[in-house]
Structure 1
């Protein structure tokens, strides 16, 4: 029994790449509109181009998914919803989406529009995928860090269609959880404008001492290539195989899609004889690579995930440097592969700037003089401004002949197999010719000629002639698979009449193949367009006055419930990760404690770490934490991990059990899986900032799902915060080092572990930091799942602006102590915020302490500058 064939899903950043994807065998293409697309730097598609692209694809039996997968600011929600409505009407097959608020609106107002959860939603466990399914998500693009076994388990437990990336660039951070580009330069990856600072140089330090590393690009992963393991992915029943690359050239899309089309079909046809040829692998390598990895599908690749020497495309080795002619500024190279004018090269160890990605060959010389091309074994001289040591490898990063060929073939329109049609003609004297044309997708066109068939006076029109004319489908996308002609004898039909009839039928079939996907406008959007825009009070959807009154009353009651949770005085929350930190926070005047003992490894071995339980924490630690907090008359919530695979979900349930057993007030949740689990278990919970709460719609959705409070994204400005805080209980982070990324790759273990793939737990030997090219220091933390947490180089401090924060209407202000070990420092910071809050509430004035008295090197984050 043959395995089910997965969908091959290709990227397109523009119309040329789109056509290349379709013509080279994609089953579906994903692309972005000019707004709200997670590849803001791609050319993307205008409205006219979008409709043309969708029609082009549907005519050829290819699906189109449009990415509206960025987080939305308050003022963008209405425009995004209108965009979805229009995309629905023009026949978009599905929307790839991230923003929880937009998902809730789409399900409410556009119920027949299929939604696919973007990998930006960080869905990586069964509970989270199940939660998304209940929201109305039909397909989930899982986090790239999921193993094949985890994918199988999620699919089996949820019954949800799964999509995974199989080729292209990898992010070092879990998608949807990276603030590195955002906080360094204001270009948010969550908004589609990642500046890729992970591809820059970094240095590793431990306790202030620099550690020698192989390569300087310590956060730059290799590219994904699953060709050798493709069969196992097919056998797992994954629904869609996705190629990354909306920023890539059309020729890249053409070549990669063509090869994966061939490989998938090869495996389906004969799994036992599956192979990847050297030519196929070389083409993939030539098109673009930073080195290849199979990612996390089959094992944790550890240091083999990374390419620390070069963050750019390195192509294929093409020769070796033998010398340099200083007089002519020419590099002497002995070739191991052919080179031609127009090819691009990069030279290993060349004295070029770090950002120099290579050179296009405009001239090349042998002893005989200038040449257009040279072959294997030839000695050539290439003009080159920089020297390189003899023995250095020359890489061909751009193969002009290959790229020209891919471009020409993709534009020819001859690559994609013709669509078979079944033609039936009925011909009788004195009657119109009746022609039926049907395709394999059950589209049928039946037409009759205006011409009435005549009795032949001399030369009758033969059946062979009629069949020949009707089967001439020329440059159309169709071919006649079967043709049946039923006719009387001695009839005459002019050839022109047959041609006209055939042409009309084919045109109608083309229109039918396109138009069947179009959808009629819905009137359900009228209430939003007429003024709802975020208010829960206006629910009219043309359902009759009685139902409108019922819906409005229910909405008012829901709003009263939410507003009833708003405190008279804002609370001060402090996140701590040890008993000592908890004591410091309580002594400083915290109202609420978030307790995360055991989440992170500590540099020095402690008695707790000698136990056998994960995190080495004991119930007695939590019992004491609850006891001390309650003795002080304060609230305590246990922090759950941001990322929890299925195999580790029992640890979350253990935290829930502690809440019940010890009488804690609830938990802090950071992903949809733990949120859904807490809701099902009736555990009180607060929704933390990794859930990317960016607008009032998302906040309302989270609160309606049972959250006591929503922690707002740190990417929002103070003004943007106000628009959310007025809709329900909201918390904002006002102090601490924000977490910039969480990665499945342990950088210290990868760099300092042994060559047998074993980690010596160097994270226990001291405090590690990454230092960038501007000498900013980014602390590293490791957790008990060996994940890396990168913290911001500066602590957020909003002490001087506390009046503005309080006036925004937030319910709670949060001090984050991640990376702070000194309980006295935690007490000092907490006390400063306590006094500032109390002073303002009592006098309406600023408190006596400012950030300078807490230390140096603070930032106000995005509260005043925002993100792109």
Structure 2
């Protein structure tokens, strides 16, 4: 048999939101389609899209008659109540012979196992699988295919393919996000409409100014427009030989909200190119006339994005002129004033889950800040996984050791944090750090993504704490993480308080973040480099990020802090800091294992002062819950430490189950 005859053919995977689209993409040559039902599904903006159960049954039958596979999206982040309603739907999908389900929530993975179903599971891109260790965890769970993180290059994927038996799928055309997958909480925290639940209002398409966040001064930029985060559409049609060579098994086209008139021709372009390639790989040449026709029907301008490395400014549509729709505009975030201190906007727990006083946890951004928090009353100290430029010094071996030693003297716990994102080249350093952590023997490790969960569970014997970036939203997911030695998880940042209140009392203890800078997005696109140097994190730049404390000013006049970490990754925060100091009464009896100050951007003196304030209020409340009242003088002390503005963030605006 010749090598050409052995050549495995990649799957052309088309999106489908309505029946006429199903017919159009199959007629155009799709090998497989992915579609969703009316719930548990990431594309829920319009009621006239997606399929009822009877329509799903018919769609699978129609597709199978034509030799086309069907994958059904069950890819929302789910609450406890939603997971409880899911078994009947999963059994239905197996009964109609769907070829696979696409899943984001680890709770769904565990549920499929518990129900004894054999329907293939595909890990959604929203699982943010971006390193080998994450793939190893998913393979161990019985996942058959992984939709890879969009920041991986084709070279990265080729290496991963050589080290895993999992099928690897990759987005090759369509609308892409500015943030790392599943790590954009902006829409959920501000509007209650979450990207992790299919309702994102796309704050990444807002207009911004780059400013000095300390002075408010607008900084001139090289960009031709204000849409600094507006990523172009990915298009890999000109690069099919490279894509196929990487080991990708399925070329995923984005667009379940697109029409048949758009998707039919689009699938046709890819089908014809693939057929020409497989008919004569050695003689294949790209058809530029076809590409000219594709360009005429494009929505946004095209970019290969991260397929060949970090694309920098070339990947952004700065002018916004080809943006098909702006889903939202910047709005003022909820702000706490002195007039709001007496009456809590947060509901009190309906029942007392536990009267035990929660630990006061602090995440610190430097060893000096960590020591200051420990001396000021923190029970549990997390070291941040990132070293931010705004801090006085980066994390070091000596710094970790000093913090662990002092915590032991004080009888406190230290949990060493790992980076939120650990791309393949960063995992090597993370593994070295894990080996050191095992030697130091802290109280535990703060794990942040699938890869760090797997690596920490294999390379150490220490308890693991799942950070908010693990998006643990139900106790089924918590129970699965427990199998990997996770002993506690932090509630999702984008949930409102009613949903957070529903989490304690299950398989694992729960922590709630009650204060600090709330991360809205994390991205591999370096804004200072792109806007000021027209370069990327993988090119030589002038180090503009180290010259000022940057912020992004939105059209509502709010400044969102912009931080750069040790790997040039950009972290964008809500404009208002969370401060629930006046409303701690609403946490009494709720059963949280710890209440956390998320303050890795605080300087040591700020970390000390704010920790003391929360320490004193928590102690007073739990000593005398009936007689407790919050004093305005305490609020003024907070304002003397940090100028704010402060707000309630997602606790009053965040995701509710019916959103």
TM-score by length of structure 2 reads 0.89
- Give the corresponding residue for 2:496: 717
- Give the corresponding residue for 2:440: 662
Deviation at 1:806, TM superposition (A): 3.3
- Give the corresponding residue for 1:76: 82
The answer to whether the aligner puts 1:768 opposite 2:550 as a matched pair is yes
Given candidates 411, 431, 437, the residue that maps to 1:633 is: 411
Deviation at 1:847, TM superposition (A): 4.8
d(CA) in 1 for partners of 2:435 and 2:95? 48
SS in 1 for 2:162: helix
Do the aligned residues in 2 keep the contact of 1:733 with 1:816 (CA within 8 Å)?
yes
Deviation at 1:724, TM superposition (A): 1.9
Do the aligned residues in 1 keep the contact of 2:301 with 2:322 (CA within 8 Å)?
no
Given candidates 826, 829, 842, the residue that maps to 2:623 is: 842
- Give the corresponding residue for 1:412: none
Do the aligned residues in 2 keep the contact of 1:595 with 1:637 (CA within 8 Å)?
yes
Deviation at 1:311, TM superposition (A): 5.6
For residues 37-116 of structure 1, the aligned pairs below 5 Å read 37-42=41-46, 43-116=49-122
Cα deviation per residue 1:32-65 (whole Å; 9 max; x = unaligned)?
1111111111411122221221111010000111
Cα deviation per residue 1:162-211 (whole Å; 9 max; x = unaligned)?
10000111100011110111122221111110011111111111242212
- Give the corresponding residue for 1:796: 578
Q: 1:283 to 1:808 in 2, by over 3 A?
A: farther
- Give the corresponding residue for 1:340: none
Do the aligned residues in 1 keep the contact of 2:529 with 2:535 (CA within 8 Å)?
no
Deviation at 1:786, TM superposition (A): 1.5
- Give the corresponding residue for 2:515: 735
- Give the corresponding residue for 1:145: 151
Given candidates 583, 590, 602, the residue that maps to 1:820 is: 602
d(CA) in 2 for partners of 1:641 and 1:78? 32
d(CA) in 2 for partners of 1:75 and 1:581? 39
For residues 401-800 of structure 1, the aligned pairs below 5 Å read 568-596=356-384, 599-603=386-390, 617-681=395-459, 682-727=461-506, 728-754=508-534, 757-800=539-582
Deviation at 1:711, TM superposition (A): 0.9
Q: 1:659 to 1:848 in 2, by over 3 A?
A: farther
Cα deviation per residue 1:730-773 (whole Å; 9 max; x = unaligned)?
11101011111111111111111256953222110010000111
Deviation at 1:698, TM superposition (A): 1.5
d(CA) in 2 for partners of 1:191 and 1:853? 38
- Give the corresponding residue for 1:210: 218
Q: Which runs of 5+ in 1 are unaligned?
A: 315-352, 357-562, 609-614
d(CA) in 2 for partners of 1:266 and 1:252? 22
d(CA) in 2 for partners of 1:311 and 1:807? 52
Cα deviation per residue 1:775-805 (whole Å; 9 max; x = unaligned)?
1111011112211111111111122221322
Q: 1:276 to 1:794 in 2, by over 3 A?
A: same
Do the aligned residues in 1 keep the contact of 2:193 with 2:654 (CA within 8 Å)?
no
The answer to whether the aligner puts 1:308 opposite 2:285 as a matched pair is no
Deviation at 1:690, TM superposition (A): 0.6
Deviation at 1:816, TM superposition (A): 0.5
**Once superposed, which parts of structure 1, at least 4 consecutive aligned residues long, lie more than 6 Å away?**
353-356
Given candidates 767, 785, 809, the residue that maps to 2:591 is: 809
Deviation at 1:851, TM superposition (A): 4.5
d(CA) in 2 for partners of 1:826 and 1:603? 14
Q: 1:262 to 1:714 in 2, by over 3 A?
A: same
- Give the corresponding residue for 1:860: 648
Do the aligned residues in 2 keep the contact of 1:27 with 1:62 (CA within 8 Å)?
yes
Do the aligned residues in 1 keep the contact of 2:13 with 2:250 (CA within 8 Å)?
yes
SS in 1 for 2:77: coil
d(CA) in 2 for partners of 1:671 and 1:198? 23
Q: Which runs of 5+ in 2 are unaligned?
A: 329-352
Deviation at 1:136, TM superposition (A): 1.6
SS in 2 for 1:16: helix
SS in 1 for 2:486: coil
d(CA) in 2 for partners of 1:759 and 1:222? 23
d(CA) in 1 for partners of 2:566 and 2:327? 36
The answer to whether the aligner puts 1:273 opposite 2:283 as a matched pair is yes
d(CA) in 2 for partners of 1:110 and 1:819? 46
The structure number with the bigger radius of gyration is: 1
d(CA) in 1 for partners of 2:230 and 2:446? 31
- Give the corresponding residue for 1:350: none
TM-score by length of structure 1 reads 0.68
d(CA) in 1 for partners of 2:401 and 2:101? 47
Further displaced range: 681-690 or 714-723: 714-723
Do the aligned residues in 2 keep the contact of 1:779 with 1:819 (CA within 8 Å)?
no
Q: 1:852 to 1:52 in 2, by over 3 A?
A: farther
- Give the corresponding residue for 1:188: 194
Cα deviation per residue 1:519-553 (whole Å; 9 max; x = unaligned)?
xxxxxxxxxxxxxxxxxxxxxxxxxxxxxxxxxxx
Do the aligned residues in 1 keep the contact of 2:10 with 2:251 (CA within 8 Å)?
yes
- Give the corresponding residue for 1:237: 247
d(CA) in 2 for partners of 1:148 and 1:99? 26
Higher relative contact order (CA 8 A, sep 6+): 2
d(CA) in 2 for partners of 1:92 and 1:222? 33
d(CA) in 2 for partners of 1:37 and 1:754? 38
Do the aligned residues in 2 keep the contact of 1:29 with 1:65 (CA within 8 Å)?
yes
Cα deviation per residue 1:335-383 (whole Å; 9 max; x = unaligned)?
xxxxxxxxxxxxxxxxxx9999xxxxxxxxxxxxxxxxxxxxxxxxxxx
Q: How many residues align?
A: 611
Do the aligned residues in 2 keep the contact of 1:577 with 1:596 (CA within 8 Å)?
yes
SS in 2 for 1:176: coil
SS in 1 for 2:651: coil
SS in 2 for 1:5: coil
Q: 1:579 to 1:313 in 2, by over 3 A?
A: closer
SS in 1 for 2:168: strand
Cα deviation per residue 1:46-93 (whole Å; 9 max; x = unaligned)?
222212211110100001111110111121112233211111111211
Q: 1:144 to 1:567 in 2, by over 3 A?
A: farther
Cα deviation per residue 1:437-457 (whole Å; 9 max; x = unaligned)?
xxxxxxxxxxxxxxxxxxxxx
- Give the corresponding residue for 2:137: 131
d(CA) in 1 for partners of 2:90 and 2:597? 38
SS in 2 for 1:67: strand
Deviation at 1:237, TM superposition (A): 2.1
d(CA) in 1 for partners of 2:551 and 2:320? 21
Deviation at 1:28, TM superposition (A): 0.4
- Give the corresponding residue for 2:611: 830
Q: 1:799 to 1:355 in 2, by over 3 A?
A: closer
**Greater per-residue strand proportion:** 1
Deviation at 1:684, TM superposition (A): 2.2
d(CA) in 2 for partners of 1:774 and 1:145? 30
d(CA) in 1 for partners of 2:9 and 2:483? 40
d(CA) in 2 for partners of 1:63 and 1:250? 19
Do the aligned residues in 2 keep the contact of 1:601 with 1:763 (CA within 8 Å)?
no
The answer to whether the aligner puts 1:247 opposite 2:257 as a matched pair is yes
Q: 1:354 to 1:240 in 2, by over 3 A?
A: closer
Deviation at 1:301, TM superposition (A): 0.7
